[in-house]
Amino acid sequence: MSPDPFPLGPHPHPLGAPLVRREGREKVTGTARYAAEHTPPGCAYGWPVPATVARGRITAVETDEALALPGVCAVLTHENAPRLAATDDPTLSVLQEDRVPHRGWYVALAVADSLEAARAAAEAVRVTYETGEHDVGLSADHPRLYEPETANGGYPGTRERGDFEGAFAAAPVTVDATYTVPPLHNHPMEPHASTARWTDGHLTVHDSSQGSTRVCEDLAALFKLDKDEVTVVSEHVGGGFGSKGTPRPQAVLAAMAARHIGRPVKVSLPRREMPAVVGHRAPTVQRVRLGARDDGVITALSHEIATHTSTVKEFVEQAAVPARIMYTSPNSRTVHRVVPLDVPSPSWMRAPGEAPGMYALESAVDELAVLLDIDPVELRMRNEPDTEPDSDRPFSSRHLVDCLREGAERFGWLPRDPRPAVRRQGDLLLGTGVAAATYPVLIVGSDAEAHADADGSYRIRVNATDIGTGARTVLVQIAAAALNVPEDRIRIEIGSSDLPPAFLAGGSAGTGSWGWVVHKACTQLVARLREHHGPLPAEGLTVAADTRKETAEQSPYSRHSFGATFAEVQVDTATGEVRVRRMLGVYAAGRILNSRTARSQFIGGMTMGLGMALMEGSGLDPAFGDFAECDLASYHVPACADVPLIEAYWLDEEDPHLNPMGSKGIGEIGIVGTAAAIGNAVRHATGVRLRDLPLTPDKVL
Ligand code: MOS
């Protein structure tokens, strides 16, 4: 192992300490400004016009009535909007052609002096269409399903090892079950918003984004500019859960409109319009087949996914990918099939792939445990692999068994009567469930600068994004440890594409990617300061570093976080309502760098998993083609009263094969496994196995 990258010095080691968020005061006092709260002088407002048909062509756009309204500056349509260059994200090619690929696709933008005038103008725009037959219905036997080359994340679409069919046919015990997860919406607290202005050919956008480096690059490409002619600022961001990982149409519309009218323009998406334009978790129909010996050892494992994408671009929810690494089996197949439908383009939503995939896999493992009458914790331990089943690569660290063991202990899992429907309190049936969780380690090369001032203070510059996670704070902790100075001597600048470029806050990769380059810049700065004799020059000393070379090397290890989630539920036999009584997760995610913000991430993820299990779900209206549940009145997310005691713990996991901090990602693993743990608890409570999320009262009764 290499020498400790954080040698002990005179200052208390800040890694792991529960530092409070640096910007916490600004946020709670309302002085932190979000993208829609920037209003440059002369700013106009844009209100988009969504298509009202699910498939077709625009035959006419009538704008006279809208333009005649007071305060209206312009109506942009495919006929008059600035021409954009094509990029690899066709969802950003807004107002470029007459084709309508799905309901909710933007067909015009009204721009006015006030938000109210823009909205009135948008409602006064008359669009006529020529429509065609549309198809928004996913099924596992849809005739147009095909096997894609790769799924999201670049994973191979299909993997086969050994002889699954033969082993499954020969297995004495088998499970063959199909689970469904409906479309899910990200719905961050802060809707997507952009404020754009052009100054002497330079485009500046305040954007609600998980990574303004990417937004800057895409806007530069779309508007045929150099990257240094575009500045994108994402200083404070109210969540994203993946939906702000790439630029969204409102950024393009705001920039277009600002150029068209020669004034700043703000476009803030109405929440009801978000599901159609900011991505969603695609629905999945998942068939899991497990064949096992009588002692519970799995000999055959198959996970087959059917999902949808749009006709605009291919996005394949990689739900069969976790089955490639979880349990040992000599015979396995994992297959994705996708059908392009007349639906909005799906995209990333917290733990794409793992969240829905582990719901199905971990439910199937529970079904196997019930069949064999083996405790589900014990069954998982019997199928623990020595190396990654899919590749035979060694794990850099894998402490799933320790998570299960510690979780069972803390939760009070044993003694557990495995019989279903025997714990009753009046109308309530009680049950407990467990599921495993996993999430891959992703690290992406980034740039940063570390600067020492003559007065003994330091400044870190890196285009990290804080989407509410505490990124600023943890990066200062990493810098303080590397510089061996107190945190209050360090200032940090993040959230602008004018800073050294860095990866986005997504894929649970932010802290690992940014932290590594911050550590590198700080370490090099310390070396420079050691060589430096006498007082620093007035301008101080600056070191720029990047980690492209280090992160480009393919690790010989399979690198993943693991966890175990336990849940206790009550099922009301009169109303069908399921409530979670308590939930507990234990995670092995490398070194935890800030215990306060990490805990928030874990319990936030678990809360989102509770929503996925019990209330979140959207559907595509077959007649009209759009999402039926598109606002928070119809798309239910957990409220405080739905969220019981949630406990999150972690192991002190040391892994030298990650980055200098020894950290894995923590933003997503909390949602993984939670829905299965709750579903398994519902089965234990009632004796009935429900396989279609969410477990709403109509299904339970
Ligand atoms: Mo997350 S879905 O990788 O932003």
Closest C-alpha to ligand 1, atom 4: 242
Give the Cβ contact number of residue 43 at 10 Å: 16
Confidence (pLDDT) at 2:
54
Q: What residues form DSSP beta bridges with 641?
A: none
For the chain, the structural domain boundaries read 445-552
Distance CA 643, CA 438 (A): 23
Q: Which residues of 390-429 are buried (b: 16+ CB within 10 A; e: fewer)?
A: beeeebbbbbbbebbbbbbeebebeebeeebbebeeeebb
Ligand 1 probe mutation, 152, 214, 315, 350, most atoms within 8 A of CB:
350
Ligand 1-lining residues (CB < 6 angstroms): 210, 240-242, 245, 348-350, 352, 506-507
Do 192 and 239 form a contact (C-beta atoms < 8 A)? Answer: no
Which atom in ligand 1 lies closest to the alpha carbon of residue 243? 4
Q: In terms of DSSP H, where are the helices of 532-671?
A: 548-552, 595-614
Of ligand 1's atoms, which has the minimum distance to the CA of residue 351? Answer: 2
Output the CA 243–ligand 1 centroid distance in Å. Answer: 7
Atom of ligand 1 nearest to the CA of 467: 4
Cα(327)–Cα(161) distance, integer angstroms: 13
171 CA distance to ligand 1 middle (Å): 38
Report the candidate in 108, 247, 266 with the shortest Cα–Cα distance to residue 197: 266
The answer to whether residues 207 and 38 touch, using CB atoms and an 8 Å cutoff, is no
| Low pLDDT (below 50) residues in the chain | 1
Counting ligand 1 atoms within 8 A of each CB, the residue from 184, 244, 348, 467 with the most, and so the one to mutate, is: 348
> CB-hemisphere CA count at 13 Å for 626?
20
pLDDT tens profile 341-396: 999 999 999 999 999 999 999 999 999 999 999 999 999 999 999 999 999 999 99
C-alpha 590 to ligand 1 mean position (Å) = 19
Choose one of 668, 671, 672 to mutate for the ligand 1 pocket test, by most ligand atoms within 8 angstroms of C-beta: 668
Cβ-based neighbours of 216, under 8 Å, separated by 6 or more: 227, 230, 231, 232, 497
Question: Which residues face 76 on adjacent strands?
Answer: 109
Token representation of residue 695: 């477990």
CA 241 to ligand 1: nearest atom = 4
Give the nearest ligand 1 atom to 667 CA. Answer: 1
Q: Name 474's Cβ contacts closer than 8 Å, sequence gap at least 6.
A: 19, 511, 515, 593, 594, 597
- What is the distance in A from the centroid of ligand 1 to the CA of 262? 35
User: How many angstroms separate the alpha carbon of residue 350 from the centre of ligand 1?
Assistant: 5
ipTM of the complex: 0.96
Mutate which of 241, 244, 278, 321 for ligand 1? The one with the most ligand atoms within 8 Å of its CB, which is 241
Distance CA 116, CA 194 (A): 17
Length in residues, the chain: 701
**pLDDT at residue 12, rounded to an integer:** 77
In angstroms, the CA 200 to CA 541 distance is 33
Active site residues: 668
In CATH, 445-552 is 3.30.365.10: yes
CA–CA distance, 695 with 578 (Å, rounded to integer): 8
The predicted structure's pLDDT at residue 1? 43
- For residue 508, the CA-to-ligand 1 centroid distance in Å is 7
pTM for this model (two decimals): 0.97
Total Cβ atoms within 10 A of residue 229: 16
Tell me which amino acid residue 602 is.
Answer: F
Ligand 1 center from residue 567 Cα (angstroms): 24
Instruction: Please give the structure tokens belonging to residue 117.
Output: 């005038």
